[in-house]
A and B are shown apart, each in its own frame.
Chain A
Amino acid sequence: MMLVDFSIDIPSGEQNMASKYETVIGLEIHAELSTNSKLFCNCEVKFGSAANTQTCPICLGMPGVLPVMNQRAVEYSTRAALGLNCKIASYSKFDRKNYFYPDLPKGYQISQYDLPLAYDGYVDYELDGETKRVRINRIHLEEDAGKLVHADVTGNPNQSYVDFNRSCVPLLEIVSEPDLRSPEEAIAYWRAVKEILEYVEISDCNMEEGSFRCDANISLRPVGSKELGTRTELKNKNSFQHVLTALEYEEKRQARILDEGGEVIQETVLFDINTGRTASMRSKEEAHDYRYFPEPDLVPFEVDAAEVERIRASLPELPAERRQRFVAEYGIPAYDAEFLTATRQMADFFDETAHLSGDPKASSNWIMGDLSGLLNNAGIEIQDTQVTPDHLSELIQLINDQIISGKIAKSVLPDVFETGNPPKQIVDEKGLSQISDASAIESIVDQVIKENPGPAQDYRDGTQKAIGFLVGQVMKATRGKANPQMVNQLLQQKLSG
């Protein structure tokens, strides 16, 4: 195999092709299922263990062993398929996909060819405020391959190294129809699928660990044409940004070839993160010929309608429904709903906080603003913080009951985040509650008027805004704890008296 750099220089601003060609993209998304054990043996499914410590004769492909299907893998696949609006096949079977590669110890992968578990689904996703739909052709279950590592293990660049811990981990493949019309659409759809799989809790979709990845097919055709152009394929990507950059590059590269009257060659292209370009991977072997045949070691599968309905009933509310409900039930803006449903955990957090506090908009503002800021700084997710919906709703109530100001609340939240103590306790311990006792404020107001005769006189003379300065001075003297409305009122009384 050799690498041939396409070495085309494309100015980054070049966009004129958009009018001439239509881009057609389809994705094959792979998600590892978060089962306890592997698909056909009882080795543990766990990322990050020492190489080859989670293997046995079955997942090492030793002769004479017998794979047995993991029940939960089938159930998880069904959950995912229902979440992606697919039909569940009443009868499905497994097949051998034959090819040689060092990460595939048997010389074949157990996959599904003509009778996959599920088919005919769709996903609705949002892009620039518009809802779009991608049809799903099929979903099938297969075993993952081992992991190949290169020179970084031993420093020897002439060898490769194989770790079979990942071999035989259950892998779901979700094949879309070529319904995507731009790299941005492809990414938005990919994100939507990730969201759904996380909601139905069948995969952790950890992109860095490689448990959620995709192959992308891209081709161009003249605008108005119904026929598909020749496609190129980007393999095994686990970064939204890389796929976006690679697809954008391919889009321009193919347009350039077509503009010059050339032909796109159907092939797999490699994406170089450093140059932001793709390169051809001209393999010596011609087209893949996998010679699929039925897997004799696994008997077929039948899923009855009652079982499908039981699983359907157990599915949680999915992101799209949840967004709609948030807008309808809580009256928050669509933008907020979109943000809050990005993960199931955040949506749960909001749901609970809005309920407890009775103030959905404030709940949304706090989660999207200060809480997200704290989470980002700490590099953690909402499910990992000590702040609970109880805490946040308590904080919102403290503001609404005028016990603390919004400004004080902003200083309380980081404390809750650090200590896990309830906001009320922090407010009490630090003496942060607003001074609403008129007599206590009155003496401070008198003091401020006395110390600032100039602005006081300005206000008496009719300069309304001078009062703002005086309010500020009182707030400063009380370290923000005075009730601002009350200060305002008292100042007006005193100055007009």
Chain B
Amino acid sequence: MATITTDDVQHVATLARLEFNEEDIAEFTHQLARILDYIGKLNELDTTDVPPTSHPLTLRNVVKEDVAKSSYERDVVLDGAPSVEEGYFEVPKVIE
């Protein structure tokens, strides 16, 4: 089995702003280990001469022209927001 600890799972959950009980954490630890094992099969291949793949497509340099077009109406943009104030999205106070 791949080495993944309950601490790893807890850390990833924290980064993703998710909360789980101990039972769930144990279950996910087991599941993630199995997934890593499965992916680990790739390690059996000899990839010495294979360049690292960052993208499955062979496309390169897909670009748009630098032309400004009209944006969305602000009312439409803000319509789905839970809280709005004077044209801004309102969120809990943050500092930095």
Contact = CB atoms under 8 A, between A and B. Distances in A.
B54 A93 contact: yes
Nearest to A170: B66
Given A45-B68, A68-B63, A93-B54, A52 B93 contact: no
B66 A50 contact: no
Interface stretch (B21-29, B30-38, B41-49, B71-79): B71-79
B66 A54 contact: no
Interface in A284-304: 285, 289, 291, 294, 296, 298-302
Nearest to A74: B63
Nearest to A290: B15
B67 A296 contact: no
Contacts of A333: none
Contacts of A93: 54-55
A363 B59 CA distance: 55
Measured as residues with beta carbon below 8 angstroms from the partner, the interface class of chain A is: 35 or more
A35 interface: yes
A358 interface: no
A436 interface: no
Nearest to A67: B64
A495 interface: no
Given A93-B55, A159-B90, A159-B93, A71 B85 contact: no
Given A52-B74, A291-B15, A300-B54, A36 B61 contact: no
Contacts of A302: 60-61
A89 to B, nearest CB: 13
Best-surrounded residue of B17, B67, B68 (most CB of chain A within 10 A): B68
B19 interface: no
Contacts of B17: 100
B90 A161 contact: yes
A148 interface: yes
A8 B46 CA distance: 59
A43 B71 CA distance: 5
B77 A163 contact: no
A69 B66 CA distance: 9
B67 A101 contact: no
Nearest to B11: A289
Contacts of B68: 36-37, 42-45
A274 interface: no
Given A52-B78, A57-B72, A93-B55, A102 B91 contact: yes
A298 B63 CA distance: 9
A50 B64 contact: no
Contacts of B65: 71-72
A43 B69 CA distance: 6
A162 B69 contact: no
Interface in A115-157: 115, 148-150, 153-154, 156-157
Nearest to A38: B68
Interface string A407-443: 0000000000000000000000000000000000000
Contacts of A162: 88-91
A154 B85 contact: yes
A53 B93 CA distance: 23
A296 B55 contact: yes
Given A51-B74, A70-B64, A149-B88, 4 more contacts: A69-B62, A157-B93, A160-B90, A296-B55
Interface of A: 1, 3, 35-37, 42-45, 50-57, 60, 68-74, 93, 98, 100-102, 115, 148-150, 153-154, 156-164, 235, 281, 285, 289, 291, 294, 296, 298-302
- The 6 A-B residue pairs whose C-beta atoms are closest, nearest first, are A161-B88, A72-B66, A44-B68, A71-B63, A42-B69, A294-B54
